[in-house]
Structure 1
């Protein structure tokens, strides 16, 4: 248990400096015993008094909370003025792309649209679970498109809603998708316009 706890602490020093400070205590001059030995001695003491087990439980609980309820995406607001805009996913190939046997798939400088190869088979619906109207709107969207929708939260508890709806609910971790698409208001629906080889984005009101 000591070795396992030691590994956890060394990996977590940056993430939990206050936690590490409690374990490490004051710094030692170079003439003092080896730092790792000092940590091991401290861990043995903490194991005896039960503090080590408590710290491990707290670390596990923090991890569970971050999974159950991730940090909300910042900078996204409830839709005030509905709007529709478009996103072109095309990108310029920086260097030749080849198969293992040397066949060229795309050459440097070519413009490639991923939708030509992997179409968006489901709509994407971004919403905030803390707003009951947005949750209701998400349910309506799912029904309208007969389930061909990936519900994506920007705030809320994706696992709890997955259990409630009995279908996968996603979370836009750190807001990567909303930033990529340029979404500023929610709820928002992302759909593919096949003929134009682009994505249509509708920021809408929930009521």
Structure 2
């Protein structure tokens, strides 16, 4: 009986914990929905007029990136120009299959865009000749623009049927257009110059038989004066 009374006393004492008070400020647990937070921020921007400022800044950035794209790094002028060839042959990295899983073209197949005999079922096609030549320029270099005008006139006189595709690696296409009066392209991210291994400008790339021929030019003798537009 004494043991029972002792056990009841121990249990009752453990059921009555003491109030030790508040140690630190307490806050209710709440989770902020991220979409609600973003919406609240946008409403605040609209009310303060900051949203209009952000739109204007974004539009200006886009406009500037179009007018002057980021330059292609690592390409310079040269006083020791060279001429070299590049093989445009492509090699399939994997099998090409139809919708039923049948292999149409096997991995490792080599295709030369300038050689129709390497195309699938292209043995009977005529010889392919590119009607354009690519000219890579730095649009901020007055000497290169002076050279470009001379080269443009030379090609027009010697090969009237061949056109030039002007490709900038730096500068503003609109400014160069006012000088050459032809459509101007820009090698954004350097994809074309990297594939053709262009290291110096100006460089002319054109088809010779089944390869690209790249010819560099020295423009150090050209007049270093701004061209009239």
- Name the structure 1 match of 2:68: 69
Structure 2 CA distance for aligned equivalents of residues 158 and 73 of structure 1:
14
Number of residues paired by the alignment?
A: 176
Displacement after TM superposition at 1:94 (Å): 3.9
Q: Deviations over 1:52-91 (max 9, x none)?
A: 1000110111011111100011011111311111001112
The answer (yes or no) to whether the contact 2:136–2:202 under 8 Å persists in 1 is: yes
The answer (yes or no) to whether the contact 1:124–1:152 under 8 Å persists in 2 is: yes
Q: SS of 2:47's equivalent?
A: helix
Quick check: 1:188 aligned with 2:203? Answer: yes
Pairing 1:37-52 to 2, within 5 Å after superposition:
37-52=36-51
2:176 to 128, 153, 161: 161
Q: SS of 1:58's equivalent?
A: helix
Quick check: 1:172 aligned with 2:195? Answer: no
Displacement after TM superposition at 1:99 (Å): 8.4
Quick check: 1:203 aligned with 2:198? Answer: no
- Name the structure 2 match of 1:27: none
Structure 2 residue runs without a partner (length 5+): 1-28, 117-127, 157-161, 222-229
Structure 1 CA distance for aligned equivalents of residues 143 and 94 of structure 2:
47
The answer (yes or no) to whether the contact 2:133–2:204 under 8 Å persists in 1 is: yes
TM-score by length of 2: 0.68
The answer (yes or no) to whether the contact 1:192–1:200 under 8 Å persists in 2 is: yes
Pairing 1:60-139 to 2, within 5 Å after superposition:
60-95=59-94, 107-117=106-116, 119-139=129-149
Structure 1 CA distance for aligned equivalents of residues 49 and 190 of structure 2:
39
Structure showing greater Rg: 2
CA RMSD of aligned residues (A): 2.7
Structure 2 CA distance for aligned equivalents of residues 53 and 85 of structure 1:
53
The answer (yes or no) to whether the contact 1:138–1:151 under 8 Å persists in 2 is: no
The answer (yes or no) to whether the contact 1:86–1:198 under 8 Å persists in 2 is: yes
1:151 to 149, 162, 166: 166
Q: Deviations over 1:21-59 (max 9, x none)?
A: xxxxxxxxx824322212212221221221110001101
